[in-house]
Amino acid sequence: MPIVMMPALSPTMTEGKLAKWLVKEGDSVASGDVIAEIETDKATMEVEALDEGKVASILVRAGSEGIAVGTAIAEILGEGEESEVGKETTPAPKPAPQESAPKEVAKPAPAPTPKPAPAPETSTRIFASPLARRIAADKGLDLRQIQGSGPHGRIIKADVEGGHTAPVTAPTTTSTDGDSTLIPITATRKVIASRLQESMQTAPHFYINMDIALDALLDARKAVNQGQDDGAKITVNDMLIKCAAAALMRIPEVNTSWEVTGEGEAIRQWHHADIAVAVAAESGLVTPIVWQADQKSLTKISAEMRELIAKAQDGKLKLNEFSGGSFTISNLGMFGVSSFTAVINPPHGAILAIGAGREMAVAKNGALEIATMMTATLSCDHRVIDGAVGAKWMAAFKEIVETPMLAFI
Amino acid sequence: MTEKTHYDLVVIGGGPGGYVAAIRASQLGLKTAVVERENLGGICLNWGCIPTKALLRAAEIYHLAANADQFGISIGKLDFDLEKLIKRSREVAATLSAGISHLMKKNKIAVFMASGKLAGKSGENWRVELDKGDALTARAVILATGARAKHLPNITPDGKQIVTYRDAMTPKTLPKSLLIIGSGAIGMEFASFYHDIGVEVSVVEAAPRILPVEDADISTMAAEAFSARGINLHTDAKLEKLTAEKGKVEAQITEKGKSQNLTAERAILAVGIEANVEGLGLEESGIKLERGHVITDANAQTNIKGIYAIGDMAGAPWLAHKASHEGIIAAEHIAGNHPDGGGAHGMKPQDVPSCTYCRPQIASVGLTEESARAGGRKIRVGKFPFLANGKALAQGESSGMIKTIFDAKTGELLGAHMIGAEVTELIHGYVIARQCEATEAELMASIFPHPTLSEAMHESVLDAFDRGIHF
């Protein structure tokens, strides 16, 4: 099969970004060589050549986004094979280049859309023996992280039993050697490492903090939760999601992403507040998304968050539940943290870091009063958001939190 | 002495290990020579696997003819011509050996009919001296000299009354009675053959059961089948003495602690094999041996770089297909080829199937139930008798059984053991399953054709998980 297709990272993935080509036209490749890297919002995957041959043509430029699963991305020809590109049977390979001028673009986010069609299995097929699959499942091993030692790289029993074959790139088992212990990284950790490193290296961060009185919000919460079962009670965090969504609708310049397309760089302004919420799961940080939080009732946001947190902790989030979004909230208040700065979750333009609510003496109209205060810190990507815009957003957020009714108008 | 010529690889021994290694090496572009002292094809083809199968086929036909009445066929008085029967067996061997010559030619492999020995290094290359006076040099050498019948202390086969396999397969006359020492594959095949053509047979086995390397259930069923045919089995029987007098051999044995004498007209020694490691220059080359076998690594290489050893001389199991497989591993390693989809991989002894062509046939691969349970492993065992298999009944071959052993947790097929008609032709199904690391799920999901004996393979797997349909 000389045509290389856009692979699916997960059964629900419908499109992705061609992050990088590792080969160029005319290069010879062997079966198993990594030829490209594909990205979705949460993960990067390597594409391997399935057969040996020459890279006849690269059909999708590096950096192209929104490439549908199954799209032809390159053609690799074996000896004596003829190009199929341009024949009627192949899908039109080159996607229209992205416009660089600002333009209303339909939102490509997966959003709460109906189930996407299952992606073709061939592109992400893992070659593993039935026995190896079963042992890996028993042990909770991710076959994608394992290098096969069987015929044509097939993963066999010996590879998952931690027998003779060492993984090529990283340790898969914990090993203690003298004074230290080498702990293999999980797939989640790998994603966190590469994305946040990329964020700090490419997005110029600046921080704005503000002290916000919580009393009105706490009073409102008390009223809303009156008579509710514990399981259905709305949390402070749920309310802050709603407040942030309202603030994003007021100051849409913050509801934005910096995008690098094949044609250059652009700012994407989102029409809805799709708020990713940082959740500490056992395997590491995940950010499930409350889609269109600006449109949703507090009860709905609360119910969704409960479900998303449970799924995150069980490791059962689906790709479309944690990839994408327009803004992030990270709340470490429950640990008593007074304030902190967060790393922007790319491609978002900003992230809001919430500290603990604390009773403090505040001077008000020349008198001391007791108020419950929290410090919120907004990290902004200066490529997208200027200082004044960030400050305006913080002021709006503060106003809404201190007068929660404003979130509902 | 002249340095005749230089090769990439010289293989000493042209048996199923050596000639296969040579062909694979030639395919991989190595200039290759084979040094063979007697017959291309080795013992297997000339004096082992192949000629005995020809004999056993004759015995089977005779047995079927003798029992034709049960199928409603009247044959009348039966007879056989021993000379013709042996002649056919020799012709089959000769045809195949000639075929090997052709394969050598086709693959441009030089063949030297001589005994070869390692004679040190000449620069980077190994020297192989031939007894005819020539010497070859080669970058790598594969030793594949096989083995010979093992002798017992104080018993010297005379080739007439006390014989080993070679004389046993070319008898001029049939003895009235025969004593077989050893109940491994060779012993039981001769027992089956001779008994089928009318010889009274007694088997002496030192282990507590016949076919001692096979699964205990299979061994028990085989013993029942042989006893029912009228073959005398003496197990847990130590041979104290074996002497030949005029017209008879006498064995003094201690069976289950009791001493007794057995007499017969002839005796076959089938107590195992001894590697041919003498006169090869092994010691001078510093090659390490252990219990009479050359020690090799996963690539079939000895402790000396560039010298490989395969087949019987490199240890058990002593089977032709094991030798061939090791030959391919060695050739690919010498050629610097990483084994790919078509190549041989590191070999584990439990992946080598074993077949015994007696009546009933016996075939197995993997662990026995006893060894599978060792270490407290949880297993599932399935059994299916040929009695409940339609094809076996139609064939009149209803005695037989297929046993499968799975790891209860992973579903790994740990072992398969079969006894009955044509099981030697069935075992490869389980061999492939093991090689592909199929679990019970894939075996259950596979469609076995009806009506065939192979359906019993399916049913055995189903039975291991309490899902048997026909029993």
The three-state secondary structure class of B395 is helix
> Average pLDDT of A233-254?
95
The DSSP string of B400-437 is -EEEEEEETTT-BEEEEEEEETTGGGTTHHHHHHHHTT
A 10 A CB-CB count for A144 gives 13
Q: Mean pLDDT over all residues of chain A? A: 81
Q: Are residues A170 and A197 in the same domain?
A: no
Would the CB atoms of B437 and A157 count as touching at under 8 Å?
Answer: yes
Closest Cβ opposite residue B438 in set A130, A135, A152: A130
pLDDT at A12: 60
Assess if residue A92 is contained within a domain. Answer: yes
Q: Are residues A200 and A312 in the same domain?
A: yes
Q: Are residues B8 and B124 in the same domain?
A: yes
Q: Are residues A144 and A293 in the same domain?
A: no
Beta bridge mates, A259 = A266
Q: Identify each DSSP E strand in B58-214 by its residue range.
A: 110-113, 116-122, 125-130, 134-143, 147-149, 162-163, 177-181, 200-204
Say which amino acid occupies A218: L
How buried is residue A341: exposed, middle or buried, by Cβ count under 10 Å (0-12/13-18/19+)?
middle
Among A162, A185, A208, the domain-final residue is A185
Sign of the alpha-carbon torsion through B160, B165, B171, B174: positive
Assess if residue A160 is contained within a domain. Answer: yes
Strand A15-21: give its sheet, edge to edge: A44-48, A34-39, A15-21, A67-68
Of B140, B39, B143, the C-alpha closest to B96 is B39
Q: Are residues B11 and B139 in the same domain?
A: yes
B365/B343 Cα distance (integer angstroms): 20
Q: Are residues A386 and A251 in the same domain?
A: yes
Closest Cβ opposite residue A131 in set B339, B345, B412: B412
Task: Give tens-digit pLDDT for A245-286.
Answer: 999 999 999 999 988 776 778 899 999 999 999 998 877 888
Q: Is A18 on the interface with B (CB under 8 A)?
A: no
* End-to-end alpha carbon distance in chain A: 57
Q: Are residues B141 and B282 in the same domain?
A: yes
Place of tokens 């993960």: A43
pLDDT at B337: 65
Closest Cβ opposite residue B436 in set A129, A135, A138: A129
* Known catalytic membership, residue A382: yes
A 10 A CB-CB count for A26 gives 9
Q: Identify each DSSP E strand in B13-144 by its residue range.
A: 32-36, 110-113, 116-122, 125-130, 134-143
Q: How many domains does chain A fold into?
A: 3
Residues of A in contact with B436 (CB under 8 A): 129-130
CB pairs under 8 A between A and B: 34
Sign of the alpha-carbon torsion through A310, A312, A314, A316: positive
Q: Are residues B174 and B122 in the same domain?
A: no
Cis previous bond, A347, omega within 30: yes
> Average pLDDT of B438-464?
97
Q: Is A36 on the interface with B (CB under 8 A)?
A: no
Q: Are residues B14 and B120 in the same domain?
A: yes
Token output for A179: 């004074």
A 10 A CB-CB count for B9 gives 27
Higher pLDDT among residues B375 and B284, named by residue: B284
Of A75-89, B111-125, B304-318, the least confident:
A75-89
With b meaning 16 or more CB within 10 Å and e meaning fewer, what string describes B251-260? bebeeeeeee
- Asked if residues B133 and B1 have their Cβ atoms less than 8 Å apart, the reply is yes
Assess if residue A159 is contained within a domain. Answer: yes
pLDDT class of B345 with cuts at 50, 70, 90: low
Beta bridge mates, B201 = B178
Would the CB atoms of A131 and B409 count as touching at under 8 Å?
Answer: no
Q: Is B297 on the interface with A (CB under 8 A)?
A: no
Q: Are residues B111 and B7 in the same domain?
A: yes
A 10 A CB-CB count for B460 gives 26
- Asked if residues A172 and A182 have their Cβ atoms less than 8 Å apart, the reply is no
**A102: pLDDT strictly greater than 80:** no
Q: Are residues A238 and A375 in the same domain?
A: yes
Q: What is the CATH number of the domain that holds B190?
A: 3.50.50.60
Assess if residue A65 is contained within a domain. Answer: yes
Closest Cβ opposite residue B437 in set A131, A138, A152: A131
Q: Identify each DSSP E strand in B61-115 by its residue range.
A: 110-113
Among B228, B246, B271, the domain-final residue is B271
Q: Are residues A256 and A326 in the same domain?
A: yes
Residues of B in contact with A130 (CB under 8 A): 411, 436-439, 441-442
Q: Are residues B16 and B101 in the same domain?
A: yes
Q: Are residues A210 and A69 in the same domain?
A: no
Beta bridge mates, A4 = A74
Would the CB atoms of B412 and A157 count as touching at under 8 Å?
Answer: yes
By C-alpha distance, the chain A residue nearest B434 is A131
Task: Give tens-digit pLDDT for A327-386.
Answer: 999 999 989 999 999 999 988 999 999 999 999 999 988 999 999 999 999 999 999 999
Would the CB atoms of A138 and B410 count as touching at under 8 Å?
Answer: yes
Say which amino acid occupies B292: G
Q: Quote the minimal CA–CA distance from B344 to chain A in Å.
A: 10
What single DSSP character describes residue B78? -
Q: Are residues B168 and B140 in the same domain?
A: no
Task: Give tens-digit pLDDT for A26-55.
Answer: 788 887 788 888 876 556 677 878 778 888
The DSSP string of B319-352 is -HHHHHHHHHHHHHHHTTPPP-TTS-----GGGS
Q: Is B412 on the interface with A (CB under 8 A)?
A: yes
Q: Is A177 on the interface with B (CB under 8 A)?
A: no
ipTM of the complex: 0.80
A85/A107 Cα distance (integer angstroms): 30
Q: Which of B406, B410, B442 to mutate to test the interface with A (most CBs of A within 10 A)?
A: B410
Sequence-ordered list of residues with C-beta below 8 angstroms from that of A97, at least 6 positions apart, any chain: A61, A261, A262, A263
Q: Is A160 on the interface with B (CB under 8 A)?
A: no
With b meaning 16 or more CB within 10 Å and e meaning fewer, what string describes B120-158? eeeeebbbbbbeeebbbbbbbbbbbbbbebeeeeebebe
Task: Give tens-digit pLDDT for B28-65.
Answer: 999 999 999 999 999 999 999 999 999 999 999 999 99
Assess if residue B157 is contained within a domain. Answer: no
Residues of B in contact with A165 (CB under 8 A): none
Q: Quote the minimal CA–CA distance from A322 to chain B in Å.
A: 33
Task: Give tens-digit pLDDT for B240-261.
Answer: 999 999 889 999 999 999 999 9
Assess if residue B470 is contained within a domain. Answer: no
Assess if residue A117 is contained within a domain. Answer: no
Q: Are residues A293 and A387 in the same domain?
A: yes
Q: Are residues A214 and A242 in the same domain?
A: yes
Q: Is A129 on the interface with B (CB under 8 A)?
A: yes
> Average pLDDT of B207-216?
96
Q: What is the CATH number of the domain that holds A319?
A: 3.30.559.10
Q: How many domains does chain B fold into?
A: 3
pLDDT class of A175 with cuts at 50, 70, 90: low
Among B254, B271, B288, the domain-final residue is B271
pLDDT at A42: 57
Q: Are residues B207 and B110 in the same domain?
A: no
Q: What is the CATH number of the domain that holds A83?
A: 2.40.50.100
Q: Are residues A180 and A197 in the same domain?
A: no
B38/B46 Cα distance (integer angstroms): 10
Q: Are residues B289 and B400 in the same domain?
A: no
Give me the helix-helix angle, B216-229 and B185-196, nearest 10°. 20
Beta bridge mates, A37 = A20, A46
What global pTM score does this model have?
0.61
Per DSSP bridges, beta strands B293-294 and B289-290 are antiparallel
Q: What is the CATH number of the domain that holds B398?
A: 3.30.390.30
Q: Is B122 on the interface with A (CB under 8 A)?
A: no
Of A221, A273, A222, A219, the C-alpha closest to A396 is A273
Assess if residue A122 is contained within a domain. Answer: no
Residues of A in contact with B409 (CB under 8 A): 138
pLDDT class of A1 with cuts at 50, 70, 90: very low
Q: Are residues B138 and B9 in the same domain?
A: yes
B267/B263 Cα distance (integer angstroms): 9
Token output for A118: 């299952």
B259/B234 Cα distance (integer angstroms): 12
Assess if residue A124 is contained within a domain. Answer: no
Assess if residue A125 is contained within a domain. Answer: no
Assess if residue B103 is contained within a domain. Answer: yes
Domain hosting B219: range is: 162-271
Q: Are residues A157 and A251 in the same domain?
A: no
Q: Are residues B86 and B119 in the same domain?
A: yes
A291/A305 Cα distance (integer angstroms): 11
pLDDT class of A118 with cuts at 50, 70, 90: very low
Assess if residue B456 is contained within a domain. Answer: yes
Among B271, B299, B318, the domain-final residue is B271
Q: Which of B409, B435, B437 to mutate to test the interface with A (most CBs of A within 10 A)?
A: B437
The three-state secondary structure class of B361 is strand
B272/B279 Cα distance (integer angstroms): 21
Q: Are residues A157 and A219 in the same domain?
A: no
By C-alpha distance, the chain A residue nearest B341 is A151
Q: Mean pLDDT over all residues of chain B? A: 94
**B313: pLDDT strictly greater than 60:** yes
Would the CB atoms of B411 and A134 count as touching at under 8 Å?
Answer: yes
Write the secondary structure of chain A as one string of H (helix), E (strand) and C (coil): CCEEECCCCCCCCCEEEEEEECCCCCCEECCCCEEEEEECCCCEEEEECCCCEEEEEECCCCCCCCEECCCEEEEEECCCCCCCCCCCCCCCCCCCCCCCCCCCCCCCCCCCCCCCCCCCCHHHCCCECHHHHHHHHHHCCCHHHCCCCCHHHCECHHHHCCCCCCCCCCCCCCEEECCEEECCCCHHHHHHHHHHHHHHHHCCEEEEEEEEECHHHHHHHHHHHCCCCHHHCCCHHHHHHHHHHHHHHHCHHHCEEEEEECCEEEEEECCCCCEEECEEECCEEECCEECCHHHCCHHHHHHHHHHHHHHHHHCCCCHHHHCCCCEEEEECHHHCCCCCCCCCCCCECEEEEECCCEEEEEEECCEEEEEEEEEEEEEEECCCCCHHHHHHHHHHHHHHHHCHHHHHC
Beta bridge mates, B204 = B181, B234
Cis previous bond, A108, omega within 30: no
Domain hosting A290: range is: 193-408
- Asked if residues A2 and A84 have their Cβ atoms less than 8 Å apart, the reply is yes
